[in-house]
Amino acid sequence: MKRRDFIKGVGVGSVATAGMVGGIQNAAAAKTIKWKMVTSWPKNFPGLGTGANFLAKTINDMSGGRLKVKVYGANEIVPALEVFDAVSRGTAQMGHSGAYYWKGKHPATQFFTSVPFGLTAQEMNAWLYYGGGMQLWEELYDQFNLIPNAAGNTGVQMGGWFNKEINSVEDLKGLKMRIPGMGGEVLKRAGGTPVTLPGGEIYTSMQSGAIDATEWVGPYNDMAFGLYKVAKFYYSPGWHEPGSTMEAMINKDAFNKLPEELQVIVRAACKVANQDMLADYTARNNQALQTLVNRHKVQLRQFPDDVLKKLNSLAQEVVADVGKHDKLSEKIYQSFTAFKNSVIQWSAVSEQAYMKARELG
């Protein structure tokens, strides 16, 4: 009896000890970490803002509420184009934006959103995840105390809104157009004046005549801004942004403080958000395009081949020039260009050939 009691006692004691350790672990697990995510988008803006919301919610849900990310629209904590600095210095732990807005910080950031006549969304993801692009992006952002992630893609954008037809390269001369990144530099070399404005300022700038033309994203987003009210012609294709990656940048110190499993969750959630946004855009763009054309009587146009040919040749120069900025830019340029030249051959016999074949039906 005594012996049995003793064993029982040990047993009870062991259970009590195990329970205590478990309790300590549970207490650690229950500790909630709160992050701010600043964005370059108007709060809840379709596609971009809702994409940022989706990312935050995915992190919250995947972590069982241990990491709570709160999303802030442009101007709620910082203006749209100060997201990079805010996350870099730790005012916010996370930011959702587009890397090409930071060309003033480093010109090579532009390779990680979209390059004129560059990669489609599918090809861009292939370069980032399986072509060395992600490592180069990390190397570039490391000097700013940031960790980058691909966290959304708009797919092929539209060429933009104009109040006159673009029938030749001459028509681009003197044109003051909102067009960021390398696309803007291409326009400049074609004789136009590129302007960088956050999305929220496009409509009023078009309305007041401060700019003559603008690109934004595609039908889904452009309709949300009401751009059909301030311009007549809607041009395709978006040669300047054939598959724009949106980014989720993370303050490095904040990231390093996370338990390892939360770090994995944050990175995984970004990958989910990257895929989800592309699906959102692909599903809704055509719907919006039909409304723009049928209800709002927007005149759909395609840039003439010779205009595209000229812009393409200027784009090759612009992209190469960005590669000349410093050693890292050169490395990124070489990686991007080699990947593009290689994947173009596969895309020609796969996506491109199939889409051509489908049109025959």
Residues in contact with Ca ion by the rule CB under 5 A:
157, 215, 241
How far apart are CB 90 and Ca ion at their closest, in Å? 29
How far apart are CB 215 and Ca ion at their closest, in Å? 5
Q: Which is nearer to Ca ion, 122 or 196 (CB)?
A: 196
How far apart are CB 180 and Ca ion at their closest, in Å? 7
Q: In the block, which residue shows the tokens 């919250």?
A: 60
Whether cis (ω within 30° of 0) applies to the bond prior to 237 is: yes
Closest to 252 in 3D by CA, of 138, 332, 329: 138
How far apart are CB 157 and Ca ion at their closest, in Å? 5
Do the Cβ atoms of 119 and 133 come closer than 8 Å?
no
How far apart are CB 184 and Ca ion at their closest, in Å? 10
Report the residue count for the chain: 361
Residue 331 has φ and ψ, to the nearest 5°, of -65, -45
Q: Which is nearer to Ca ion, 185 or 241 (CB)?
A: 241
Torsional class of 279: left (φ above 0), alpha (ψ -120 to 50), beta (otherwise)? alpha
Closest to 163 in 3D by CA, of 222, 234, 231: 231
Q: Which is nearer to Ca ion, 88 or 154 (CB)?
A: 154
Rounded-to-integer distance, Cα 353 and Cα 75, Å: 45
Q: Which is nearer to Ca ion, 100 or 336 (CB)?
A: 100
Q: How far is CA 181 from the centre of its chain?
A: 13
Q: Which is nearer to Ca ion, 59 or 182 (CB)?
A: 182
How far apart are CB 232 and Ca ion at their closest, in Å? 19
- Is the torsion defined by CA of 49, 50, 51, 55 positive or negative? positive
Q: Which is nearer to Ca ion, 241 or 280 (CB)?
A: 241
Do the Cβ atoms of 224 and 280 come closer than 8 Å?
no
